Structure 1
Amino acid sequence: MAQGQHEVDFCTLGMFILDDIDFGGSRPGVKNILGGAASFAVVGARLVSGSEYAQSVSWIVDVGSDFPPETLDVIKSWNTDCLFREDFSRLTTRAWNGYHPNEKRDFKYLTPKLRLEPEMLSDTQMWSKTFHMRREELHKAGKAPSTLDASKRPVFVWEPVPDLCTPEEQEKFFSANQAVDVVSPNHMEIGMMFDQPGWTENSDESQKLVQKIIDSGIGHDGNGLLVIRAGKDGSYAYSKISKIWLPAYHQPDASGATSVLDPTGAGNSFLGALAQGMVSTGREPFQAIDSVLSHSETWKKALNSWGNFQHHPMALICATVAAGFVVEQIGVPQIDVDGNGRELWNQSEFTERVRLYTQRLLKTLEESPQKHLLTN
């Protein structure tokens, strides 16, 4: 697990947190749950990477005096490139999550937080394909990796801080969007940012809001992506040239029941998987998507509308499936290896779920293309 001289596809500066979760009386609360933006983003990226590229997923975990040994075992089972920093003079960062109806969440820290800063990254992590960092100093020092990708601008996926999704922060929001490749608030946060009760795709006000954000520019060349995560309703992605709606992986059955137990971390996992997916073209999950959709003329036209960014819808499919694993239990999904050496998460292969989801998508895409492609 030590830092090595290998390519890093995904690196997060999110914090590791041990969570207490209060479900608002709908079920008993839980404590000491492996969580935080970093953990869930890493799970998402790790699902997409598969065991072959596990070490391309990199992060930092701050270990305090109260760090549970069983949590350490879980993290090590992922085989990611994890840098553990031990400081037994302090407690591990802990937080409380409280849930309300309509997926509204309250959050507060229970112990002092230890925020990660860019200068804390290792030389290897600095060259992540999906992180925009101050890297010129390393290049001058001769520490750049020998791979061709080192010269390319990395992809930066940004989730605005919920507390700063306020009308007062709008100008800073628009300014920050121009420095990233993907900006992804959820449907509640984008509503709060623009003083609206929430965001829904079929609202004229919501569509005007989307157009305003796209017109203001996302990314250094204006070709970035706005991804609105809408919980049980899936995600809506908009670029300057195209748009798509993807339903959530888990859908209610005839009785209205679903496999969703706890939504904590689903958004972070979605974004971690999206970032990893944006640099995973040609790998197994993409092959599974292509094997199902390649014969669909509707899908071909949809992909063509994305121009040079045809990998974006496929990365969004991977992100949707990854989030589906995270909501099935409290905390992170369980990883195992079966008798044939196949990696299983919650007793399922990630790529096989990608295939199943894509088959469902093909059916509804052919039946109602305008619904998925957001056309009139």
Structure 2
Amino acid sequence: MSGRDDPISFATLGMFIIDDFSFMDADGRPTGRTVDPQECRSRPSSPRLCGSPEHRLPPSEIGMIVDRGHDFPEPIDRALLSYGRDLWLFREHPDLKTTRALNSYRGEHRGFEYTTPRIRITPKDLEGTRLANAKTLHFICSPSRALAIMSEVEEGWKPITIYEPIPDRCVPEELPALQKVLPLISVLSPNAEEALSLLSLPLPPSKRAIEHAADKFLQFGVGSEGSGWVIVRSGELGAYIKSRATSGRWIEAFWTPEDADKVVDVTGAGNSFLGGFAAGMVLSNGDVDEATMYATVSASFVIEQEGLPCLSEEGSMIRWNGDNPLRRLETLKKRHET
């Protein structure tokens, strides 16, 4: 049993992955740049937008399984606990290595591959824990695997489902599986490149192409009776949100092209965006526009440095990287006032 009467607000099936990096120029020559994976380099979804207590979800309301192998780095362990012990559900694997992946950059092209065996997480892994029957369920995987995940969501459990397609399976061959699972999904959120790739549309992304892709996904029937949303995460272009019942709308990125020096490393931005979106849905009572602004602010903190943002407390206020997230949220809202 989970030990609580009401289900928590958010759980993710995303794996905890420690990232290693390789940087080369366009000709394949090492650039000399390095990133130490021990310095809090990891990619959990983070639905805890902080500020004053009434504008954040406490760790007890969100959760993620962390599979710790025998080689789990102590600095990362300490960093995770600093975000709130209740947030994590640790599973120990003394005979296995912690899941790791190599992010290889060659010029502007990014490659990704697992370097240790994956320990996948399914809805059945949540049973009997405090994460069981969470009100919102996030998962990142191929469309084919998304179908398998939804088959494990027990009858009577009706979570808001946030599906983030995994980049290397956003290929046209996966489109039939995606069409099958979309009616079961509340929110579909690929990034712009992934959306166009699934639909065999040409790159690079433009706002017009992204809007066309969102329309195509909605035609496939996102959500029960077509009631779901498509949110296309589009980097410096912002995020495009649309449902069949609403007109499409662009939410600007927090950091504009003029703030290029603020964008240090975009690894994990999508995970953090959707974690922030989940928190925003709770805190805004289901207002998708406002939730997307929470998501945008959440991602803005992740991309400012290599690794996780730094948290600090000032009385009842929790700051990220020395800044107040609510200040950023209000700044973003003002940009969209009409």
Residue number among 353, 357, 372 corresponding to 2:328 in the alignment: 353
Larger helix percent: 1
Residue number among 149, 153, 158 corresponding to 1:134 in the alignment: 153
> 1:318 Cα shift?
0.5
The alignment partner of 2:96 has SS state of: coil
Assess if the C-alpha contact under 8 Å between 1:252 and 1:258 holds in 2: no
Assess if the C-alpha contact under 8 Å between 2:11 and 2:134 holds in 1: yes
Residue number among 81, 88, 99 corresponding to 2:105 in the alignment: 99
Following the alignment from structure 2 to structure 1, what is the Cα–Cα distance between the partners of residues 319 and 7? Answer: 24
> 1:276 Cα shift?
2.1
Following the alignment from structure 2 to structure 1, what is the Cα–Cα distance between the partners of residues 280 and 311? Answer: 20
Following the alignment from structure 2 to structure 1, what is the Cα–Cα distance between the partners of residues 32 and 336? Answer: 33
Corresponding residue of 1:288? none
Following the alignment from structure 2 to structure 1, what is the Cα–Cα distance between the partners of residues 41 and 126? Answer: 20
> 1:279 Cα shift?
2.0
> 1:31 Cα shift?
3.3
Describe how 1:17-96 pairs up with structure 2 within 5 A: 17-25=17-25, 28-32=33-37, 34=40, 39=44, 41=45, 43=46, 45-47=47-49, 53-79=58-84, 80-96=86-102
Corresponding residue of 1:260? 263
Describe how 1:224-235 pairs up with structure 2 within 5 A: 224-235=228-239
The alignment partner of 2:102 has SS state of: strand
Describe how 1:241-260 pairs up with structure 2 within 5 A: 241=245, 242-253=247-258, 257-260=260-263
Describe how 1:237-316 pairs up with structure 2 within 5 A: 237-241=241-245, 242-253=247-258, 257-281=260-284, 311-316=287-292
> 1:4 Cα shift?
4.5
1:209 matched to 2:209: no
Following the alignment from structure 1 to structure 2, what is the Cα–Cα distance between the partners of residues 157 and 51? Answer: 19
Q: Which runs of 5+ in 1 are unaligned?
A: 137-150, 283-308, 367-376
> 1:70 Cα shift?
1.4
1:155 matched to 2:156: no
Following the alignment from structure 1 to structure 2, what is the Cα–Cα distance between the partners of residues 341 and 352? Answer: 15
Assess if the C-alpha contact under 8 Å between 1:165 and 1:193 holds in 2: yes
Comparing 187-196 with 177-186, greater Cα deviation is found at 187-196
Following the alignment from structure 1 to structure 2, what is the Cα–Cα distance between the partners of residues 110 and 163? Answer: 15
Bigger Rg over Cα? 1
Assess if the C-alpha contact under 8 Å between 1:20 and 1:29 holds in 2: no
Assess if the C-alpha contact under 8 Å between 1:14 and 1:36 holds in 2: no
Following the alignment from structure 1 to structure 2, what is the Cα–Cα distance between the partners of residues 319 and 55? Answer: 20
> 1:92 Cα shift?
0.8
Assess if the C-alpha contact under 8 Å between 2:9 and 2:62 holds in 1: yes
Over 3 Å counting, the alpha-carbon distance change for 1:171 and 1:71 in structure 2 is same
Following the alignment from structure 2 to structure 1, what is the Cα–Cα distance between the partners of residues 10 and 32? Answer: 35
Match of 1:243, as an amino acid? G
Instruction: Give the TM-score normalised by the residue count of structure 2.
Output: 0.84
Moved over 6 A (4+): none
The alignment partner of 1:236 has SS state of: strand
The alignment partner of 1:315 has SS state of: helix
Residue number among 164, 167, 175 corresponding to 2:180 in the alignment: 175
Over 3 Å counting, the alpha-carbon distance change for 1:176 and 1:135 in structure 2 is closer
Number of residue pairs matched? 311
> 1:207 Cα shift?
4.3
Match of 2:191, as an amino acid? N
Q: CA deviation digits over 1:161-185, x for unaligned, max 9?
A: 2222111111111111111111111
> 1:115 Cα shift?
0.9
The alignment partner of 1:156 has SS state of: strand
Assess if the C-alpha contact under 8 Å between 1:325 and 1:346 holds in 2: yes
Comparing 49-58 with 118-127, greater Cα deviation is found at 49-58
What root-mean-square deviation, in Å, do the aligned CA atoms of Structure 1 and Structure 2 show?
2.4
Over 3 Å counting, the alpha-carbon distance change for 1:248 and 1:152 in structure 2 is same
Larger strand percent: 2
Corresponding residue of 2:312? 336
> 1:152 Cα shift?
7.3
Match of 2:268, as an amino acid? G
Following the alignment from structure 1 to structure 2, what is the Cα–Cα distance between the partners of residues 257 and 170? Answer: 34
Assess if the C-alpha contact under 8 Å between 1:250 and 1:258 holds in 2: no
Q: CA deviation digits over 1:261-294, x for unaligned, max 9?
A: 0000001110111122212226xxxxxxxxxxxx
Overall identity of the aligned pairs, in %? 33
Over 3 Å counting, the alpha-carbon distance change for 1:318 and 1:74 in structure 2 is same
Following the alignment from structure 1 to structure 2, what is the Cα–Cα distance between the partners of residues 226 and 110? Answer: 32
Q: CA deviation digits over 1:275-327, x for unaligned, max 9?
A: 22212226xxxxxxxxxxxxxxxxxxxxxxxxxx6x01010010011100000
Assess if the C-alpha contact under 8 Å between 1:16 and 1:35 holds in 2: no
